[in-house]
């Protein structure tokens, strides 16, 4: 439903997104989640090997690779000037390293593969 980085502030697309249980959540393979003791809707932390973290609700799904997560990259807005998008979803970009080691030397495209660990966060510990 979303494209680029401007659509989270679009009221019509936001309304449609709220009817889709995956849009504003962190999608995870159902079997992998159960092995980690997670259930649908748990509040989780996704932490990179470099210590970068994002938090959000997990949405379990079948048919997804058991070693992958799915996060829409342009959510997690915090600016007061974006009242529709503010506080919805997770910003995947927070997990990325921005340096030459994580760039393609030919195109200067950023590496978007991030090794992470996932764990439940108690509601009272939310950042």
Domains and CATH numbers, the chain: 7-122 (2.40.40.20)
pTM of the model: 0.86
CA dist 42 and 60 (Å) reads 10
Contacts of 54 (CB under 8 A, 6+ apart): 26, 45, 46, 71, 76, 90, 91, 92, 94, 95
Token output for 113? 């593969």
| 3-state SS class at 10 | coil
Q: Kindly tell me if the per-residue pLDDT of 123 is higher than 80.
A: no
Token output for 116? 């992470």
What is the per-residue pLDDT across 11-65, written as a single tens digit (0 to 9) for each?
999 999 999 888 999 999 999 999 999 999 999 999 999 999 999 999 999 999 9
CA dist 76 and 23 (Å) reads 12
């Amino acid at each position: 439903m979303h494209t680029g980085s401007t659509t989270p502030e679009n009221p019509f697309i936001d309304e449609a997104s709220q009817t889709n249980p995956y849009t504003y959540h962190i999608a995870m393979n159902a079997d992998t989640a159960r092995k980690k003791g997670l259930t649908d809707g748990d509040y989780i932390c996704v932490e990179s090997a470099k210590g970068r973290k994002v938090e959000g609700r997990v949405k379990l799904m079948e048919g997804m690779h058991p070693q992958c997560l799915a996060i829409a990259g342009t959510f997690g807005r915090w600016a007061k000037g974006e009242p529709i998008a503010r506080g919805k979803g997770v910003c995947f970009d927070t997990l990325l390293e921005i340096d030459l080691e994580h760039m393609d030397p030919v195109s200067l495209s950023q590496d978007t593969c991030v090794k992470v660990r996932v764990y439940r966060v108690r509601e009272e510990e939310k950042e």
